[in-house]
């Protein structure tokens, strides 16, 4: 069922993350991803980002990916250390290219402003590297790219 997402499985690492947004100064970041499968009809993931200079932990998210066996629709369910939870859905645009977009974003009542309203991601293989691109709309800014990163597969 999740076999068509098996290209995501394993550990990935990048020292080449690029962050930007109209309201922010450009920044670089490091990130480690892991996608695991234990036989259930889902893939579990952890995404851990680190400051490029100090290597200190930054953004973290954990969650699950599921696929509807009938429609092949993919659901990406994520909880983030910033107090955000979200469900994105979408589909494979190519055998190794996933496009998803949030339909539900939940926030802590005491989360920082501006609040995230909508998130879009693409995951795709570029040669033997995995690329993730994340765009978001906030209460202050329309849908704009925030992150662009290519990961190498770890042993």
In our burial notation (b when 16+ CB lie closer than 10 A, e otherwise), range 91-122 reads ebeeebebbbebeebebeeeeeeeebbbbbbb
Q: How far is the CB of 76 from ligand HEM (least distance, A)?
A: 10
**Contact between 29 and 58 (Cβ < 8 Å):** yes
Per CB under 6 A, 29 contacts ligand HEM: yes
Residue placing its CB nearer to ligand HEM in the complex, 125 or 134: 134
Residue placing its CB nearer to ligand HEM in the complex, 4 or 23: 23
Residue placing its CB nearer to ligand HEM in the complex, 27 or 64: 27
Residue placing its CB nearer to ligand HEM in the complex, 46 or 141: 141
Per CB under 6 A, 114 contacts ligand HEM: yes
| H/E stretch holding 119 | strand 116-126
Per CB under 6 A, 134 contacts ligand HEM: yes
Q: How far is the CB of 61 from ligand HEM (least distance, A)?
A: 6
Q: What single-letter DSSP state applies at residue 10?
A: E
Cβ neighbours around 78 below 10 Å, total: 20
Per CB under 6 A, 21 contacts ligand HEM: yes
3-state helix, strand, coil in the chain (%, to 5): 5, 70, 25
Q: How many residues does the chain have?
A: 155
Residues that bind ligand HEM (CB under 6 A): 19, 21, 23-24, 27, 29, 49, 58-59, 84, 114, 116, 119, 134, 136, 138, 140-141, 146-147
């Amino acid at each position: 069922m999740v076999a068509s997402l098996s290209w995501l499985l394993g550990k990935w690492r990048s020292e080449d993350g690029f962050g930007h947004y109209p309201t922010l100064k450009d920044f670089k970041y490091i990130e480690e991803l892991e996608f695991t499968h234990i036989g259930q009809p889902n893939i579990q993931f952890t995404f851990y980002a680190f400051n490029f200079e100090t290597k200190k932990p930054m953004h973290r998210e954990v969650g699950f990916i599921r696929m509807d066996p009938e429609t092949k629709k993919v659901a990406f369910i994520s909880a983030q250390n910033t107090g955000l939870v979200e469900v994105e859905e979408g589909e494979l645009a190519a055998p190794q290219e996933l496009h998803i977009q949030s339909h539900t974003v939940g926030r802590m009542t005491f989360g920082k402003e501006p609040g995230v309203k909508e998130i879009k991601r693409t995951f795709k293989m570029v040669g033997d590297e995995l690329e993730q691109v994340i765009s978001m709309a906030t209460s202050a800014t329309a849908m704009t790219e925030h992150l662009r990163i290519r990961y190498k597969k770890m042993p």
